[in-house]
Amino acid sequence: MKKMVLQKLGLLLAERPLSFCLKKHIILKYMESLNLVRFTYSQILDRVLSELVNNFQPDQTIEVRKKMLALAEEWNKYESQVIEELEKYPPYKFTPQSVKCYVVKNLPYTGISDPLIIKIAEDFELFIATLIHELVHISISQEENNLVTRIRKEFPETPDFRTQLHVVVNFIEYQILKKLFDKEKLDKIMNRELSLVGLKKAWEIVLTNEDKIGEIVTILK
């Protein structure tokens, strides 16, 4: 249905005397209106976060906006499959039915889930992996305590709540990434993930206990 609507929009725009860039922008914004994730840019938020890490550049607005459009176009290729995979893990629920995602140049982390903010990345796959990670956080937020209790019982060696929560989040993220990307791209993503010190322990547990964690995560169905 979405494909048919976009084809009609494309034909309609083809008849209009607009620049290619403007037509592309209109199509991307319309696609975004049909999606779960609504990418947006806040100049003040981008500046505040950049100043937080002492890396504000006066001309970064143009850079971030251009990158956001390219990243949004790439995300559109994957979103429906990501949602299909997320729905396998209860209690999948987004209220409202769309999620505003702020895209910024600088952030102390690769992304955060509340509010949803993602740092631009030169590599599309790394950006998509980060976005999936944060969407998983949002998706399971209502059952965090329940899931963490189960993880703590099964893996008492996990040191704290954050690690226990990320065993769940990383597991779901990993299942989705395996469906989206080939081995080469997946390996590149995992090299980045395993380099994140705060998530390394959780990833080690996930990669050696997939079946056991799968039983814990899906038990809420």
- The pLDDT, as a whole number, for residue 9 is 43
90 neighbors 143 (Cβ within 8 angstroms): yes
Q: What is the rounded distance in angstroms from the CA atom of residue 135 to the CA atom of residue 145?
A: 17
Q: Which helix (H) or strand (E) holds 30?
A: helix 20-34
> How many Cα atoms sit within 13 Å of 158 on the Cβ side?
25
Q: By C-alpha distance, which of 127, 80, 62 is closest to 101? A: 127
Per the DSSP assignment, residues forming a β-bridge with 135 are none
74 neighbors 86 (Cβ within 8 angstroms): no
Query: SS3 of 56, please?
Result: coil
* Residue whose token pair is 């740092």: 119
Residues in contact with 141: Cβ distance below 8 Å, sequence separation at least 6, in sequence order: 113, 114
- For the chain, the residue count is 221
Q: Taking the domains of the chain in order of start, what are their residue ranges?
A: 1-34, 35-218
102 neighbors 118 (Cβ within 8 angstroms): yes
Q: What is the rounded distance in angstroms from the CA atom of residue 75 to the CA atom of residue 82?
A: 10
Q: Is the whole model's pTM more than 0.85, yes or no?
A: no
Q: What is the rounded distance in angstroms from the CA atom of residue 81 to the CA atom of residue 18?
A: 32
* Residue whose token pair is 């322990």: 201
171 neighbors 89 (Cβ within 8 angstroms): no
- The per-residue pLDDT string of the chain (221 residues; one tens digit each, 9 = 90 and over) reads 455 544 444 555 455 665 555 545 555 554 555 678 999 999 999 999 999 999 999 899 999 999 999 999 899 999 989 988 888 886 666 654 688 999 999 999 999 999 999 999 889 999 999 999 999 999 888 888 999 999 999 999 888 999 999 999 999 999 999 999 999 999 999 999 999 888 999 999 999 999 999 988 875 54
